Amino acid sequence: MSIERVKSSEASEKLPESVNQFVRGWFLSRFKKLTPPQKFSFKLIENGENVLISSPTGSGKTFSAFLIII
């Protein structure tokens, strides 16, 4: 297994379509925009990739991991 950095062009400004409609509604009512960890990780997690997120506390790492699988 190799470690790769995600390129800026791979970031997404939107929640993936696979996010449950109720979860999507809740998320969008509570948060104005995605955080950098979310922008870069959602697509990879949705595709079943192993992802290691290194980011400051409170930056959205937990949501990055769990929002896709809820």
Residue 19 lies in a domain: no
Task: Express each pLDDT in 2-43 by its tens digit.
Answer: 788 888 777 888 888 888 999 999 999 999 999 999 998 988
Per the structure, the count of domains in the chain is 1
- Report the candidate in 68, 63, 69 with the shortest Cα–Cα distance to residue 30: 63
What pLDDT is recorded for position 58? 92
Residue 17 lies in a domain: no
Residue 16 lies in a domain: no
The pTM is what?
0.79
- Report the candidate in 44, 41, 38 with the shortest Cα–Cα distance to residue 59: 38
Give dist(CA 64, CA 53) in Å, integer. 9
Give dist(CA 31, CA 37) in Å, integer. 14
Residue 26 lies in a domain: no
Residue 12 lies in a domain: no
Q: Which whole number is the average pLDDT over 49-57?
A: 91
Higher pLDDT, 22 or 1: 22
Task: Identify the domain containing residue 48 by its residue range.
Answer: 34-70
Residue 25 lies in a domain: no
User: Quick one: how far is CA 20 from the chain centroid?
Assistant: 14
